[in-house]
Amino acid sequence: MFDFVIPFIILILVVVFIHEYGHYYFARRYGVGVTDFSIGFGKELFGWNDKSGTRWKICWIPLGGYVKFFGDRNVYSQQDHQEMLEKYSKEDQEKLFVTKPLYQRSLIVFGGPLANFLLAIVIFLSIYMFIGKDFTPALIDEVQKDSPAETAGLMKNDVILEIDNNKVESILDISKLIAMSTSEYIDFKVSRYDQEILFKVKPNVVPAEDNLGNKINKRMVGIKLRPYKNEINHKKLGPAQALIQSVGEVYFVTTSTLKYLGSMLVGKGDSSQLGGPIRIAKISGQVAEFGIIPFLSMMAYISISLGLINLFPIPMLDGGHLMFYGFEKVLGRPLSQKTQEGFFRIGMFLLLSLMFFATFNDLKDIGLF
């Protein structure tokens, strides 16, 4: 387990730093004072003060981070604003987060998730430009007897064009698109004798192991693939095409994650695959053994997940604050302190429940349950 610690810490430090720097960047841009920029929670291990008075620090629990604004408090009411303003000079009032216009406060809060999405785009962009991307078409080399694919009508030598309306650009996309599918049937569009045909395949879900040896419930359709014309098409992309592909990958991961989480909420998704810090640490260590490119790819996916989760409309998350700002825009005033505190209690319960569930899955994954 200790082999996974260093890759996990590196991954978390980078992803969390980028997230918090997104908040910090917009805060400084709009003149909000920042007193603390912390990576981790708990006791400070080391840190330093910059010329603007911000304390940059690393704390001993590396499971997140925070940016603390000048005069910051968790919950505000209209009365709180006035009482607080009276405590500060005119110059200091300009540094307060709560004195800023609604759009500036919203951008400061949204800056964290935005930075995570941008980090993922930069990682994919770099990989596609300097390492390359695979564009090898996928040809069905074998359809297993009595498999879901055979039952649906797929045949040898079919070229797979789309899965669930997602274009298949590479043979490497097939397993990813099948795994991310949440419907009872998977739509396969194939080319057969220059005709495009659509098939609906109902996959079998079987216990299996992924490429890293971790136990998963795998969706199987019963096909074996090979490159079309037995030719590998791997090429480096120019900046514009790499950017388009990178944004497309971030969009695909984001929408697929939302669909998967939605399927779990209605009881159709496999909730056993939901993991927490222990599983992330384990997988990050395993991926790091395959080299820097797989590790960077995983960092991009974790960054997308962190950005997306923080946009959920749950109090205590960035999305919860944005939800409050939405109410403020509609009502013309902030919600009362009592209402906000009620939302925060609900948010705390939801987050603790999610953490408990993810940790329970993690412990099952390593054999403690």
pLDDT in tens, 4-28: 678 888 888 999 999 999 999 999 9
Quick one: average pLDDT of 166-182?
A: 89
SS3 158: coil
Element (H, E) at 261: helix 239-265
Q: Is the dihedral of CA 351, 357, 359, 365 positive or negative?
A: negative
Res 345: pLDDT: 80
Cβ-based burial of 253 (10 A; exposed 0-12, middle 13-18, buried ≥19): buried
Single-letter amino acid, residue 112 = G
Residue from 107, 111, 81 nearest 96 by CA: 81
Pairwise pLDDT comparison (268 vs 248), residue with the higher score: 248
Single-letter amino acid, residue 18 = I
pLDDT tens across 190-238, in order?
999 989 999 999 999 887 766 656 667 788 999 999 999 889 999 999 9
SS3 252: helix
Where along the chain do its domains lie?
Answer: 2-130+300-365, 133-235
Q: What share of the chain has pLDDT > 70, as a percent? A: 82
Catalytic residue among 20, 44, 231, 289: 20
Enumerate the H helices of 78-159 as residue ranges.
78-85, 90-93, 102-130, 148-152
When the pLDDT of each residue in the chain is averaged and rounded to a whole number, the result is: 84
Res 79: pLDDT: 43
pTM: 0.85
* Residue 86 is among the residues annotated as catalytic for this protein: no
CATH architecture of 133-235: Roll (2.30)
Q: Of the spans 46-60, 270-284, 314-328, 353-367, which averages the highest pLDDT?
A: 46-60
Res 357: pLDDT: 60
Pairwise pLDDT comparison (2 vs 227), residue with the higher score: 227
CA dihedral 157, 159, 160, 162 (to 10 degrees): -150
| CB atoms closer than 10 angstroms to residue 2 | 6
pLDDT tens across 312-363, in order?
988 888 999 999 999 989 988 887 777 877 887 887 777 677 666 656 555 4
Cβ 22 vs Cβ 115: under 8 Å: yes
Distance of CA 126 to the CA centre of its chain: 19
Q: Of the spans 70-79, 167-176, 279-288, 356-365, which averages the highest pLDDT?
A: 167-176
Between CA 145 and CA 150 the distance in angstroms is 7
Q: DSSP assignment, residue 182?
A: -
Between CA 16 and CA 14 the distance in angstroms is 6
Q: DSSP assignment, residue 4?
A: G
